[in-house]
A and B are shown apart, each in its own frame.
Chain A
Amino acid sequence: MKIIVAIKQVPDRDAQFRIDPSAKWIEEADLQFALNESDAYALEEALQLKEKHGGEVIVLSAGPERIGQTIREALAKGADRAINIACEDLGTRDALGVARLLAAAAKQESPDLLLTGLQSEDLGLGQTGVILAELLGLPHATLILHVETTESGLKVKRELEEGWFQEIEMPTPAVLTIQSGGNKLRYATLMGIKKAKTKEVRQLGAAELGVDAAPVVVLDRVTLPHKQKSTQILPGSPKEAAAALVEKLKFEVRVL
């Protein structure tokens, strides 16, 4: 089975975010970047499918130079090779623009299965996989926790809201967006890290894919959220803060 996993590099979730002077985006200079969490689960699912059925796992990404580190991490975990679309202006493209880049690159490989995380931690659009399916003319399913192969294609377990699930059968090739938690993530081994250095990372240019970059939807500016409630912050040492909270729980919330 030939599997493409579309991955995204996102700012570390614990970072302190500062809006940049243009108010169009955030200051990136001091940020650490990491593999988007649900994409890590998509990669894990792909690696497990390969272990069961054989084949190849190809990591596909789009982004600026710093994405190289995230690609190496994916290769160290066991992906066979990578394709990156060098793209410095990712932020000015909308979800369709990014998906068009990924679709153009994926098409050249004719995969049996295309996986991606259900949502990115930075923009949270949750659309890339579904748009990829549309652009490639493939069936898709979202929020997938488990993938099984059948004689005619796939049987997948889809998460619904409030603790419900459903199974979906579909032919391949197909696109799935993977929910976190379906598998246990692996760590890269020392051997894996060593091997990753020799694996192929093919660089494509956004321009050579012939994709129109004009966005339909634009991020006009970034702002700080309004607070919904006025939070009373209890100051002091841990002991003082704990004592203050116990007072509140006793006399105001009345649960002690």
Chain B
Amino acid sequence: MSGILVVVEQREGRIARISWEAIAAGQRLAAQTGEPVSAILIGSETEALAAEVSAKPVAKVIRVEHPLLAHYTSDGFALALQQLLQTESPAYVVLPHTYQVRDYAPALAARLGEVLISDVVDIGAAATDAGPVFTRQLMQGRLNGIYKHQGSGPCFVSVQAGAFRVEAADATTAPAGITTFTPTIEAAQIRTKPSEPFRGSTQTVDLGSAQLIVSVGRGIKEAENLPLVQDLATALGAELAASRPICDNGWLPMERQVGSSGQTVAPKLYLAVGISGAIQHLVGMKGSQCIVAINKDPDAPIFEVADYGIVGDLFELVPALTEAIKAARR
């Protein structure tokens, strides 16, 4: 086994940033292990995308091509990659931690008797020469876990969005060679029939362009308490947003949800009230220019990204802040 294979994911004919970050993670592994990095592109008619990938610092680009891979299915992708891995027998397989990868990579790894080290935020060197170690978040980001691979097959790693700097995947070399691998797939082997993706309810709230956002999380406890935060938003002239649990409970409409499954925002001010800061939320707002967090738990992960923090009871702090803002505005 040798080499590092990085799976590059395309969506709607585009390669998302997280895939370049996965290449950067592959480069990190390469620096530690001395193994070459190759990129894998799965799909149908991916010539143009392959050319784009070949400009990155990779030894080669392998197009895994088949008409049955035009639309993503777990069965199709797992089967195609399984066959490729038999041919290539890499030491490492690095993937972006997307919804798609979460859908097939655990099955693919299990098929080889391996376990995906999922949602990795850092790759480091072990104290001894026992190979790289992988950091993942535990307890919703409150702790880190350092993981080691000790299987005999390839080591599967998926990397979290934003964890690796994409600049490390910038091109400086001559374009890499492109090869094509054609897996054997029968239509009957694909057991699920996916529809075309569709948008949820029509978006009437565009949080993406809001300059000021007050966002509320589980700490608000009851729907009846929401006016407290609405008043703060009104005083500030801000849009009201929420973390997932608030929308799951139906307390605010889904279109006000910020995070990986909702909207991505980057306002001048993001004021997070009673939001602990699970990664699914952080990815949607950490690009904000200024983040203020109000939370009763000083160890809440939201404080890891906040510029200003107030530790305390939101039921006392929010009315006090609303009053202070009104006074400042008068």
Contacts A127-B118, A163-B261: A222 and B138 contacting too (C-beta < 8 A)? yes
Chain A residues within 8 Å of B323, by CB: 242
A18 nearest CB neighbor, chain B only: B143
Segment with Cβ contacts to A, from B19-27, B84-92, B172-180, B306-314: B306-314
Interface set, chain B 251-308, CB cutoff 8 A to A: 254-255, 260-264, 268-269, 276, 289-290, 292-293, 297-299, 301, 303-308
**Size band of the interface chain A makes with B:** 35 or more
A140 within 8 A of B: yes
A124 touches B269 (CB 8 A): no
Interface set, chain B 22-38, CB cutoff 8 A to A: none
Chain A residues within 8 Å of B329, by CB: 256
Segment with Cβ contacts to A, from B43-51, B54-62, B144-152: B144-152
B143 touches A222 (CB 8 A): yes
A125 to B309, CA, bound (A): 30
B328 within 8 A of A: yes
How far does the Cβ of B259 sit from chain A's closest Cβ, in whole Å? 10
Chain B residues within 8 Å of A166, by CB: 194-198
A231 touches B263 (CB 8 A): no
A231 touches B309 (CB 8 A): yes
B149 touches A216 (CB 8 A): yes
Chain A residues within 8 Å of B193, by CB: 168-170
B115 touches A94 (CB 8 A): yes
A255 touches B143 (CB 8 A): no
- Total inter-chain residue pairs, C-beta < 8 Å: 259
- Residue picked from B99, B146, B244, B276, most chain A C-beta under 10 Å: B99
Interface of chain B, main secondary structure: mixed
Contacts A140-B107, A168-B193, A256-B329: A181 and B140 contacting too (C-beta < 8 A)? no
- Residue picked from B103, B262, B304, B313, most chain A C-beta under 10 Å: B103
A255 touches B269 (CB 8 A): yes
Chain B residues within 8 Å of A179, by CB: 261
A243 to B308, CA, bound (A): 13
A209 within 8 A of B: no
B113 touches A225 (CB 8 A): no
- Chain B interface (Cβ within 8 Å of chain A)? 74-75, 98-99, 102-104, 106-107, 109-111, 113-119, 133, 136-151, 153, 191-200, 203, 211-212, 236, 244-245, 247-250, 254-255, 260-264, 268-269, 276, 289-290, 292-293, 297-299, 301, 303-313, 316-317, 320-321, 323-325, 327-329
Top 6 closest A-B pairs, CB basis?
A181-B248, A216-B151, A127-B106, A139-B191, A134-B107, A242-B320
